[in-house]
Amino acid sequence: MATFRMALIQLQISSVKSDNVTRACSFIREAATQGAKIVSLPECFNSPYGTKYFPEYAEKIPGESTQKLSEVAKECSIYLIGIHLFDIDVPGKITFQESETLSAGDSFSTFDTPYCRVGLGICYDMRFAELAQIYAQRGCQLLVYPGAFNLTTGPAHWELLQRSRAVDNQVYVATASPARDEKASYVAWGHSTVVNPWGEVLAKAGTEEAIVYSDVDLKKLAEIRQQIPVFRQKRSDLYAVEMKKP
């Protein structure tokens, strides 16, 4: 399939986990009826955003949330990407230390679909060009980053990083953010976005709850890679980005 539709669910997060999960499943079903084949939820979709909430909302896997997501993905015959966080300290602006509560990942996350190979990152991962390069080397054509930038990093870096990763690696990049809640202790930037390999923004939400749809055109991706053949012309005799772990 040369073209397929994907959807990003920009969910308004409440303090009631069961309501978050139920509403997420409702949006997933709606996206599937609109032809979406790959659907992404935002980071931390079932919990308010903050380290003080994590112990209360934490689940074993499999658990309530993963069970519901598995069921709705099977029901709708889609590929579903769900949930995580990061560390930030901007003097006078915001301080948030996710690593005090959550452990870091230690492996690459990719999966194959009938449409393309997908590479996964979470929010802060988007700042590391090497991860995206590894995914491109492994044949990924779409990178998905559920994330939750804030009102400081969002306007400065959210779109910039997505477009950079897309152009650097000639891939589609999609980011799914929670909807903005001005009353929350951590206010997410919103603006869930899909960017093509040329660096063009194909679809972008505002700050409110929404579903963002975009068609991923793999023929367009192939044309861009032929027009600007960076993979063939990289100087691998001079430099390389390599995996330390599979």
Q: How high is the pLDDT of residue 91?
A: 44
CA dist 234 and 230 (Å) reads: 6
Exposure of 164 in the CB half-sphere (CA atoms within 13 A)? 11
Question: Per-residue b/e over 195-211, b at no fewer than 16 CB within 10 Å?
Answer: bbbbbeebbbbebebbb
| Structural domains of the chain in order of their starting residue, each with its CATH number | 3-233 (3.60.110.10)
pLDDT of residue 99 exceeding 50, the answer is no
For the chain, percent of residues with pLDDT exceeding 90: 76
pTM of this structure: 0.90
Lowest mean pLDDT among 29-33, 119-123, 241-245: 241-245
pLDDT digit string, tens, across residues 52-91? 887 787 887 788 888 899 999 999 999 999 854 333 333 4
Q: How high is the pLDDT of residue 66?
A: 86
pLDDT digit string, tens, across residues 192-207? 999 999 999 999 999 9
Largest CA distance in the chain: 54
Q: pLDDT band at residue 31, thresholds of 50, 70 and 90?
A: very high
Q: How high is the pLDDT of residue 87?
A: 34
Write 159-163 long-range contacts (CB < 8 A, 24+). Answer: 159/191, 159/193, 159/195, 159/201, 159/204, 161/126, 161/127, 162/126, 162/193, 162/195, 163/195, 163/199, 163/201
Rg, C-alpha atoms of the chain = 18
Averaged confidence pLDDT in the chain: 90
